[in-house]
Amino acid sequence: MRSRLNPTPYLFLVPALVILVLTVFLPSIQAFYLSFFNYDLIGDPQWIGIDNFRRLWEDSVFWQTLKNTALYIIIVVPILAIAPLWLAILVNQKLRGINWFRTAYYVPVVISMVVAGLAWKWLYAENGLLNQFLQYFGSFFLPPSASPSIPWLTDPNLALFSVMAVTIWKGLGYYMVIYLAGLQSIPAELYEAASLDGSDGWRSHWDITLPLMRPYLILVAVISAISATKVFEEVYIMTQGGPLNSSKTIVYYLYERAFQNLDIGYACAIGLVLFAIVFGLSLLRLAIARWTGSEIS
């Protein structure tokens, strides 16, 4: 006799589905629709076909933001994939007061990005703490006429990297916790057996920790890559995309076109490109996990 389907679990899923439809799916469909229109929130949308995408192809600022975003991923992702693992290995030790260190490393995660951005902007200022340290220690090695002050946020060659430092500082604790959960699931007997075979100390992490943490490494790499692709708050608070578009990312450019210039159709076209990038990174993560057989259970 065929069992009857119990609808109760599905009823609990309905509220979440309604929220997703209203906040994600419908806006996404509308953005796709408006990307083929010229729309400024004032008049009626005017059909222009693929002109917005042709405009993207010829827009030097868009290509600059794409380059900045790619550079962000290339530099930030490897650091956030490796440094938190090293940090997690350190705080996974059974030492007195280690919980205090875990909390201290995690504090930047719970700090609002607005607060963190303003604090780092003050640190980077011409008379901020970093330049004061440089001036103090530089006075011992440099002639009085030399100025060790560094324009962290006003130099086109430094602005983007200065913003990257904030992203790395903010994400270290978050990814450390993910790695810490993985490390604590590794049986201690494996390290004991490895020590009998001569694999001890840091070599045991190379022989045991890294292979077993591969699923977490892939997960963190993809999550941090998607987060780096969508970085916005740091840029908005610290540099406003300047100087000379040197720190402007694709998400900030989308915001600028949509909410400052009211060029909604063009912003929707930029959003489609951003969606394609994020979707591609997600597919890459699934492909790597399937190829390596390293899905996190």
**Stated pTM of the model:** 0.86
Q: What is the mean pLDDT of residues 116-128?
A: 90
Q: How large is the C-alpha radius of gyration of the chain?
A: 24
Looking at residue 292, its pLDDT comes to 66
Asked whether residue 19 is assigned to any structural domain, the reply reads no
Cα 19 from Cα 15, distance rounded (Å):
6
- Is 160 a member of any domain? yes
Phi, psi for residue 72 in degrees, rounded to 5? -60, -45
- 220, with CB counted inside 10 A (0-12, 13-18, 19+), is buried
- 26 Cβ contact partners less than 8 Å away, ≥ 6 residues apart: none
Q: Quote the CA–CA distance of 34 and 45 in Å, as a whole number.
A: 8
Q: Whose CA is closest to 80, among 180, 195, 188, 164? A: 164
Mean pLDDT of the chain: 86
Residues 238/242/247/249 CA torsion (nearest 10 deg): 90
- The residue whose two tokens read 């109760």 is 8
What is the per-residue pLDDT for 144?
A: 59
Instruction: Report pLDDT digits (tens) over 216-242.
Output: 898 899 889 989 998 999 999 999 998
Q: Which structural domain range is residue 126 located in?
A: 59-292
User: The domain spanning residue 241 has which CATH number?
Assistant: 1.10.3720.10
The band of 129, judged by pLDDT with boundaries at 50, 70 and 90, is: confident
Per the domain annotation, does 230 fall within a domain? yes
Q: Are strands 37-38 and 46-47 parallel, antiparallel or unpaired?
A: antiparallel
Does the residue 28 lie in any domain?
no
Closest among 210, 167, 179, 173 to 77, alpha carbons compared:
167
Q: Does residue 36 sit within a domain?
A: no
Q: Using 50, 70 and 90 to split pLDDT, how confident is the model at 1? A: very low
State the amino acid at position 123 in one-letter form: L
Check residues 209 and 123 and name the one with the higher pLDDT: 123
The answer to whether residue 72 sits within a structural domain is yes
Residue with tokens 């009085």: 144
User: Taking residues 289-294, what's their average pLDDT?
Assistant: 67
Q: Is 109 helix (H, G, I), strand (E, B) or coil?
A: helix
CB 270 within 8 A of CB 250: yes
CB 192 within 8 A of CB 101: no
Going by pLDDT thresholds of 50, 70 and 90, the confidence category of residue 5 is confident
Answer yes or no: is 250 within a domain.
Answer: yes
Residue 249 in domain = yes
Give the SS3 label for residue 94.
Answer: coil
Q: pLDDT by residue (tens digit) across 239-285?
A: 999 899 999 999 999 999 999 998 999 999 999 999 998 888 888 87
Terminal CA-CA length for the chain: 34
Neighbours of 26 (CB within 10 A): 11
Look at residue 91 in the predicted model and tell me its pLDDT: 87
For residue 182, give the nearest of 153, 207, 156, 218 by alpha carbon: 218
Taking the C-alpha atoms of residue 290 and residue 217, their distance in angstroms, rounded to an integer, is: 14
Domain count, the chain: 1
Residues of the chain with pLDDT > 90, as a percent, come to 47
